[in-house]
Amino acid sequence: MADLILSIESSCDDSSIALTDADSLKLVEHLKLSQESEHKVYGGVVPELASRLHAVALPKLLEKLKSRFNDIKAVAVTTHPGLSVSLHEGVIMAKALSVFLNVPIIGVNHLKGHIYSLFIEKEANLPLLALLASGGHTQLIKVENYDKMELLATTIDDSVGEAYDKVAKMLNLGYPGGPIIEKLAKEGDENAFNLPVPMQNSPLVAFSLSGLKNAVRLQIEALGGAQNMNRRQICDLSASFQKSVLKHLLQKSKKVFKKVPYKNFAIVGGVSANEYIKNGFKKLCKEFNKEFLEVQMQYTSDNAAMIGRWAAEAYRAKEFDTINTVKAGSTKKLETGNFLK
């Protein structure tokens, strides 16, 4: 009989449930329903809608796993960070399951989950320096073990994914913007527009994307608005935007590379699907003689497999929560002094 962990992810617009074998780390089941098409019409995620869609999707996914209920030894759920009304749906389900199955509950930090997306179906390769780039975060994180992670740098305004989404919106391209901009950029000339590289003269090791986003806005206005731009101009602007984003990420990460001698480096989070950004970092890793660890494409966006994988570490360490301590949007662990906890 296997020791299975049932994990639930509902922090944003993906409803996902997985079963992970805590001993072998095998991903036994992984189910996901994306709400992308429902949010697309609004040009971004609408929290109330996301919450209602999770309430419909999660029970449907759970029903498919009924035959494995006897093997479930723990329930894991994303508690934070994320949209609180969305997180809430997963947390309610996890608590009810924990009571019904009489098994412990494990609250999971979504960001730690993204880091463990690197190690789905395998043992962790640590220590590691990670760049987490998603719709909500841009952070450089020193990862010592599953529970010991130190935040080294973060964004002072927009995240990278958010900047891609906003630029796509300004160009009337749709949501999510990341994959659309990346695709158009492939046809464009990255030197066509001279966009600024954020904070390049600042000694601060931090990220900032809102100035670049505004520079793109001004460029669109100078061209008479998105409706007056031709495909070539849209592709060129997308490519020039990506070039500045990558330069910024590389410049700031380089400073940390010089200070943190870890052999392993990885990009995790939704933006890690971007080939252009990945290739830039692969080159930097070569220069610094670092190993570039890659997330499998299907686990770059939000998913329950990564939540279950992190929870397998907590399960092995017998680190459990209780239904009273697990709360949606909980900052309980933030108070311990470690920003990422």
Q: Name the site residues for ligand KG4 (rule: CB under 6 A).
A: 12, 134-136, 161-162, 164-165, 176-179, 182, 269-271, 273-274, 301-302
Nearest distance from residue 82's CB to ligand KG4, in Å? 7
For ligand KG4, the closer CB: 104 or 113:
113
Q: Which does 271 bind (CB under 5 to 8 A by kind): Zn ion, ligand KG4, none?
A: ligand KG4
Nearest distance from residue 316's CB to Zn ion, in Å? 24
Q: Which does 176 bind (CB under 5 to 8 A by kind): ligand KG4, Zn ion, none?
A: ligand KG4
Nearest distance from residue 291's CB to Zn ion, in Å? 24
Residue 42: count other Cβ atoms within 10 Å of its Cβ. 10
Question: H/E element holding 17?
Answer: strand 14-21
Nearest distance from residue 274's CB to ligand KG4, in Å? 3
**Which residue stretch of 95-103, 168-176, 236-244, 300-308 sits at the interface with Zn ion (rule: CB under 5 A)?**
300-308
Which of 134, 233, 238, 242 is in the footprint of Zn ion by CB under 5 A? 134
SS3 at position 195: coil
Is 302 a residue that touches Zn ion (CB under 5 A)?
A: yes
What would the two tokens of residue 249 be?
């990420």
**Helices assigned H by DSSP within the chain:** 36-40, 47-63, 84-101, 110-116, 160-170, 177-185, 210-222, 231-259, 275-287, 304-316
What would the two tokens of residue 20 be?
């992970």
SS3 at position 111: helix
Nearest distance from residue 239's CB to ligand KG4, in Å? 13
Nearest distance from residue 55's CB to Zn ion, in Å? 20
Burial tier of 324 (Cβ tally within 10 Å: 0-12, 13-18, 19+) = exposed
273: Cβ–Cβ under 8 A, 6 or more apart, which residues?
A: 178, 179, 297, 300, 301
Q: What values do phi and psi take at 186, rounded to 5?
A: -60, -30
For ligand KG4, the closer CB: 43 or 179:
179
Q: Which does 308 bind (CB under 5 to 8 A by kind): Zn ion, ligand KG4, none?
A: none
Give contact residues for Zn ion (rule: CB under 5 A). 134, 302
